[in-house]
Structure 1
């Protein structure tokens, strides 16, 4: 699929009753998942799927969750799993991407457990389409990796494995930064939970991705804006609670693959080397935290990988897919 092609499409065309053509074009479908209303009104999530031929009752299924200020558009990832005969599903969480509505605060929740509702609804749909014995692999990027790690801890036995693509398991600067900033964030969140914090996003990561600025991908700026959605105190507090939970140690009893860039480059000034490094997270901190996710954790470092390894330059993303394949074969999933 041409990654620069964005067909005309409207979220209003989606229903809860059936699959409809998705914005990503041929081979991709989407449907709404109705959720309980919150203080801002009606809430939905959106499930996107990409199926191999004759995939009804597929034995292997992938469920993917995106990161902060993001949505699912990584067609190459879906096609990688489809070509292996697996059914691929991706969630646009509430208040993100296809699920974002004008009356909502983008990306906002006050507890990461809130996402249990749409993850549960997505898996119910997967089970309805592929049966109760389909082997489900969870995959999350960045904040999505944190969300799925915590969900899997609370819901043992629901997945056969977890693939984390640059998961946000700790603040930059390690737990010291979390302990120093946590009390102040909690005070703001208590009295003004939706107060926006200073936005420090200079737009460099978007510059590495977008085809108009030297990247390879076209994204919908409504769903993945530059700078990113405002970070709000209540949301950041929820993320920091998640980080603290990981720091105490998770006990996942399924194999976990944590894939990270081999290099971090965080700078106030633009540099072309940013196209070949993680410029969002400190990968050394994440690598140290990753061993606390589960009993059997594999850590892979990808030379010249970006924050989303699936969007890296071709040699790096091919290395990433090769490592995923090796891991899947080793655990008998592929």
Structure 2
């Protein structure tokens, strides 16, 4: 087992590098971050037998300390995973965030769970995914039934922004290009409005250079084909094998030009489409729409953020 070292988040947070071999771009690693409960919470907290594994979204990494403390205050052991080629795991010369298939992340998640020791210690596992991480964990749980005891999804990217019909029409074109030009370039479509909304609200800390660019990472045909294939699997129906809690904003705002409503809506996904797609992932799905929430509901303005944590608390009380 590797060595735990101090993390950039400061006191109470540690990180461990998880070697994953190499690919055409060189060394590949994931990074596990942990925040342990204090003694009183561990002994008496309602979630003292629970381990949490958080997976971030696209162009992202783990920095949500309030989310970690929510769980550790209730006795849970909280871990977050910076996937290969993201954040703490990004190495020079790598295409940020690039994979050609989402099941590549099975190795990242397996390495994290081994270090966490959840199964060996007979503890319960809560998977918590945001946006692309929500899609990744949904598909992972469906491929590994019975491992997770609950799945919490924070604005999961379960459907393409253009909708299912456009996705089906676009898929053959994207797949064809992915075969002959997987690392080709796409036009920049992220105009930075989501980042601006977070900065206006004061919920976005300064990030190390390159970890969370204002307009997102460049995207590539191979990666987009992997995402569309994941959306198609969700659309056909999957079973994550455990209860799922899905947290979404009440409304979306198209990110075509800046609008003040972007400070209180999801300007990344079409939340109505995500809500419909979420009904196809489990026999027990709770969908909570949060008025005033951003794409990451836990980075919203104070009132909406409080409602998001209240909804999470209710879901975790059910698990406890």
- Report TM bin, short chain: over 0.9
Contact kept in structure 1, 2:154 and 2:296, CA below 8 Å = yes
Q: Indicate the residue corresponding to 2:130 in structure 1.
A: 141
In the alignment, structure 1 residue 316 sits paired with structure 2 residue 304: yes
TM-score between the two structures when normalised by the length of structure 1: 0.91
CA-to-aligned-CA distance 1:174-233 (integer Å, 9 cap, x gap)? 2111112112111111100001111111000111113xx453321314200122110110
The alpha carbon displacement at 1:252 in A equals 2.3
Conserved 8 A contact 1:253-1:296: no
| Of 220, 225, 232, the match for 1:232 | 220
Of 35, 38, 41, the residue aligned with 1:53 is 38
Q: Does 1:157 align with 2:146?
A: yes
Task: Quote the residue 2:106 is aligned against.
Answer: 116
Find the partner of 1:88 among 75, 78, 89. Answer: 78
Question: Which of 21, 25, 31 is the equivalent residue of 2:16?
Answer: 31
CA distance in 2, matches of 1:71, 1:157: 27
CA RMSD of aligned residues (A): 1.6
Q: Is the 8 A contact 2:201 2:300 kept in 1?
A: no
Q: Name the residue aligned to 1:11.
A: none
Q: Is the contact between residue 73 and residue 219 of structure 1 (CA under 8 Å) also seen in structure 2?
A: no
- What is the TM-score when the length of structure 2 is the normalising length? 0.95
Alignment partner, residue 3 of structure 1: none
Helix, strand or coil at the partner of 1:81: helix
Distance 1:173 1:260 in 2: 18
Contact in 1 for aligned 2:38/2:73 (Cα 8 Å): no
Q: Deviation per CA, 1:223-275, whole angstroms, max 9, x where unpaired?
A: 00122110110000000000000001012221000110001001311111101
Alpha-carbon distance between aligned partners in 2 of 1:258 and 1:216, rounded to the nearest angstrom: 21
SS state of the match for residue 163, structure 1? strand
Structure 1 residue 300: Cα displacement: 0.4
Q: Distance in 2 between matches of 1:74 and 1:219?
A: 12
Query: Which ranges of 4 or more aligned residues in structure 1 deviate by more than 3 Å?
Result: none
Partner of 1:258: 246
Instruction: Indicate whether 1:74 and 2:61 are aligned.
Output: no
Match of 2:316 in 1: 328
Q: Do the aligned residues in 2 keep the contact of 1:173 with 1:285 (CA within 8 Å)?
A: no
Match of 1:260, SS state, is: strand
1:42 aligns with 2:66: no
Q: Distance in 2 between matches of 1:305 and 1:239?
A: 24
**Is the alpha carbon distance of 1:319 and 1:253 closer, same or farther for their aligned partners in structure 2, counting shifts above 3 Å?**
same
Q: Which range moved further: 20-29 or 47-56?
A: 47-56
* 1:126-172 deviation digits (Å, cap 9, x = unpaired): 117x8430111000000000000000001111110100000000001
Instruction: Classify the secondary structure of the residue corresponding to 1:197.
Output: coil
Contact 1:207/1:215 (8 A) holds in 2:
no
Name the SS for the 2:117 alignment partner: helix
Contact 2:30 2:84 (8 Å CA) reproduced: yes
- Pair 1:103-2:88 in alignment: no
Q: How many pairs were matched up?
A: 314
CA distance in 2, matches of 1:153, 1:214: 36
2:157 alignment counterpart: 168
2:281 to 285, 293, 307: 293
- Contact in 1 for aligned 2:2/2:18 (Cα 8 Å): no
